[in-house]
Structure formats: structure tokens, C-alpha cells
Amino acid sequence: MIRAFNATDKLYNTNGEVVIAAIKARVKNSDNGDYYLELTCGTEYNEYIQANNIIVAPTPRGDQAFRIRTVTKKSKRLEAKAWHVFYDTQNYLIADSYAVNMNCNAALNHFNAATDNPSPFTMSSNINIINTYRCVRTSLAECISTVIERWGGHLVRDNWNISLLSDIGVDNGITIEYKKNLKELTASYDWGGVCTKIMPVGKDGILLDELYLYSDIQYDIPYTKCISFDQDIDEEDYKDSSGELDEAAYTAALKNDLRAQAVNYLKNSSIPVVNYTLKGNPEKVTDIGDTIEVIDERIGVKILTEVIAYEYDAITKRYVNLEFGNFTNTLSDLLNNISGSTNEQVSNAVISLTSELSDAIATAQDKIWNALSSSYCIYEGDKILIVDKIPASRATNVIMINSAGIGFSNTGINGQFTTAWTIDGTFNAQAVNIINLTADLIKGGTLKLGSLLNQSGKIEVYDEANTLICTIDKNGLIMYASNGSYVVLNQDVGLVGYDGAGNPIYWVSDDSFCMSKSVVTQEITLCSKVRFLPMQITENDVVVNDGIGLVSYYEE
């Protein structure tokens, strides 16, 4: 039975305002993801199918309340999309609340009691992991999302009751064999992460004695990977009282740990990531989380999967689609319809940086990609932290982002952020390694270029036609003329001018200035004694002789 209630109703043990004879009613739910109802009914229910009113409809978990968000009115029918009342959590704000060293149940109830208006929800959890989270200027919905990321678990939404559980669903012994007992099964396979043979690499490049490990499952072609693993084996634990390291014991501990990590990796990576979508209503499926065994002869494996999404017909009370697979469930959709994405635009930038692939860039890329598996993003309301370890108090490498800018630290969250890019456009760093820099204006005190092997020690100046007119590098200052001649100034040759053929035409040698030829248009003074001046002899105002005269030097 599908019923309509007023926007403020919280109890649904009556027929409500009206019982709706729906044309179509489909509930779609996914683990830690979207949960909504799509309803189609006649226009006679126009009074009740209004935004913010509540529709109560059957689901695998029993009758659930959905709040109407959008309504489309057509000539003879109404179409509405209603989201589970869980999404009302977006309307309750937490100004500043700090859950310190709490299990998940305590943290949920702590934050639920900190909303601006009294929360209508009840919270519970059976997850005993201890964690810490400060929630600042955040909706209750976003807070719950972060709690799921920190503490883990599956989100169970039962009307106004919200739970985070370590495990959900039941195992009723359901077995599905592809193309044998089910025809309406669609399967997609991703072999990109498959590994059946591994060369594990540990701390300081340590390798196993056997070099490779193999999975129990092998295919017609090899799937071999070289994987680096982080190791927390402390060298200090293998030193005696005098500080002498037992290298054999330390190495054995590293190899044993490396072997265990690699075996676990093979266990999880020897089969492809598979996603199954089933059209039908298999018996014994009760809800999200139910265990299903899939026998797939095409890849020769048996996979224990869990139901991670469904589409349910609230009128016939039967499943329309089931989705299950062996991939890890995430929060990919939880807040897609709670908060819109933020588009950030940066305009009128003074400095534009471009990079070309080089050894330095390749090295940086390797560092970043290799660290992806050991990077964690933490949202704390007033800031975002990216750390290399959790809890954040154990982290060494930290990136902090807030309204003031971005800071980088390699001494933990309470250490020194020695590199920062502030919101006013200022970039402060102890060292900057740039392959290519394109700039309209550079200001500074000292510009230091060059080092051993003249690495990056060069300045080139071009004119508007993109013609090189000057260079400064280990060879000194060289200025180029349009006719091919050039001038060199450095500590080896001093000052030398060359013609287009590379011949010196003037130079400074010790305390002398030399030239191959000279043209003087006015006068020459020698040793402050004699001046060479142009002279003319005229008769009757007519020049009869034009030459040079020598006169004693004197100052006018």
C-alpha cells in the first residue's frame, strides 16, 4: 500500500492523507549510495503529490518514507521523485563539534546532538573502531559521510533511524550460475587490476629470496606485476643493548612481512573485478548486503558477492533489478544529490606555469603515483587534510587546504608548513624545481642560476619576432646583432666584438682597447695632449682644401 502524508508527519501507522493507487512505483537503493522512489499516478492525487510531502511505500526493509522533491504534471498523470527522509539530514547544521577518541556509535550520537535545530533522527552503530573527527560548519548529512569514511561500515536507513553497521544482509545460500539457471544476467569484467604473479618490493628495495609469488588461479596468459609495499618494521626493535643491529633477524622480519602482504594482494587481485546486473526476482533475497555465490564458467571461478543495489517494484513487491559484484563499495553517490559540485575559476593570473616531461618530472610523477595507495583525505569542516597515515596524528607528510590557501608539511599536522600557496597568490617555498616557467613579470632580490655542469644556468632574451638577441650562461653575456655580428663579455676574453664570420673586430686586452679598424666622425684626443680636428681651407668662401689638423689639447 502506497500512502501520502503531510510534510511534518513522523508516524506512519495510519492510511495518512490518502492511499494512492499508483500506476508505477519503483524504489532504487544502493549500498552507501542513492535511495529514492519514482512514482507515477493519476492527476486525482494532485492535492497530495506536492513538494515536501511524504510518500510511504513498501521496500524490502518494510514501509519507508520518501520526501517529494520534484513533481512533473502531465495531462492525465503525475510523475514524482521522492528521496528517502534520510536526506533531511542536509537541513541540519553543525556549527562546531569535536568527537575525540570515540567509537562510531558515540560519535554519531555526539554529532546528532550538536545540530542547530533538534535532530529528528536516532543514530546507532556496532563499529568499535576508535577515531577522532572535528565537524565545523557542516550539515549533518556531510558529517555522516565523513564518519563513514573515518569509521567505515554500511549505512542503513530505516525511516528516521540511521545506523552504521559493520556487516549487513544475510546468507540464505543463494547460488547463481551464469547462463545455466539464469538467463537475464548481465556481467561486466575489468581485467585491468588482475595479478596472478607478483614481484613484491619492500623497504629499501628488498626482494624475496624466491623473487616471485604465484596465485592459485592461473589463466592462459600471464598477469605479472611488480608491486611496492610499505613496511612498518622498526629497525630499532632488532638492536641489542649496545645498539648493534641483528641484520639477519631484521632482514628476515622484512621478508616475512613482505611475503604476507604480497600473498594477501594476490588473494584479492587474482580474479577480475566483476559487476553483475540481474533482471528478475530470485527467491531468498531480502535486502542489500545479502550474500550471493556466483559460478561463472567463463573465468572458472566461484565468487561470493553481496547485493549492493536494487530496483524494487513497490506495487508488486518484487525485485526488478539486482546488482552485485566483487568490487569494494564506496560512497560514490551518497552526497551527489545533497550538495552540488563547486566550480573554481582562476582568472587574471600573473604567472602561468607549464611543465615538460623530464627526468625531474618523471621522478615527481613516480613519487605521487606510488603514494596513492597510502594517501588519505580527511575533511574537518574548516579544512581538508591529505595525509600519508591515519589517524592524522601519526602522519608525517601533510597537505592542508583551507580558506587561506594550501600548506605543505613533512613534519606532521602540528609541524612546520614550510611551503605554502596563500589565497592572495603568494607562493612561499624553500626550493622550487621548474622545468619551464612562462611569466609576465618576475620580481625578486637575487636571481641565482647555474651550478655544477651548468644545470639550468642560462637566460635567453628574444625580440618580438622571436629572434634570440641575448644569452647569459656559463659563457658569459652574448649579444647578437641582426647582421650576424655579436658581442661577448666574460671572465676569459673580457669584452670582444665579432663580425658575422666570427672574426674579432674589437676587444679589450689588459688595459688596452684594440680594434681592426675605426671610423671617427668628429675628433680624437690623445693622452690629453693633442687633438685631431677636421679642418677646411677656403678662398673667397670656397673650400679649396679639406683635411685634419693637429692642435694642442686645451679645455674650453
Q: Which CATH class is domain 92-165?
A: alpha beta
Maximum average pLDDT range among 27-36, 425-434, 443-452: 27-36
Closest to 132 measured CA to CA, from 154, 147, 145, 143: 147
Contacts 24+ apart (CB under 8 A), 439-442: 439/350, 439/351, 439/352, 440/350, 440/351, 441/350, 442/351
pLDDT in the model for residue 82: 96
Maximum average pLDDT range among 198-212, 292-306, 418-432: 198-212
- 476 sits in the region (left: phi over 0; alpha: psi -120 to 50; else beta) called left
Q: Specify the residue for cell string 539464469.
A: 182
Report the C-alpha gap between 75 and 318 in whole angstroms: 29
Q: What is the largest CA-CA distance in the chain?
A: 133
Maximum average pLDDT range among 107-111, 427-431, 507-511: 107-111
Mean predicted confidence (pLDDT) in 37-46: 95
pLDDT in the model for residue 464: 73
C-alpha cell at 540: 673667397
CATH superfamily membership of 174-191+272-325: Baseplate protein-like domain - beta roll fold (2.30.300.10)
pLDDT at 437 over 70: no
pLDDT digit string, tens, across residues 43-87: 999 999 999 999 999 999 999 999 999 999 988 899 999 999 999
Report the C-alpha gap between 208 and 200 in whole angstroms: 7
Report the C-alpha gap between 147 and 132 in whole angstroms: 9
Percent of the chain scoring above 90 in pLDDT:
36
pLDDT digit string, tens, across residues 212-236: 999 988 888 889 999 999 898 888 8
pLDDT in the model for residue 531: 80
Segment holding 478, helix H or strand E: strand 476-480
**Where are the domains positioned within the chain?**
2-87, 92-165, 174-191+272-325, 197-269, 351-437, 444-515, 521-556
Predicted confidence band of residue 159 (pLDDT cuts 50, 70, 90): very high
Report the half-sphere exposure of 457 (CA within 13 A, side-chain side): 13
pLDDT at 119 over 50: yes
Cα–Cα distances in angstroms (integers) from residue 472 to residues 64, 374, 476, in the given order: 75, 44, 5
Report the C-alpha gap between 161 and 86 in whole angstroms: 8
Closest to 471 measured CA to CA, from 484, 460, 463: 460
pLDDT digit string, tens, across residues 336-378: 433 333 233 323 322 222 333 345 555 555 555 555 445 677 7
Mean of the per-residue pLDDT values for the chain? 80
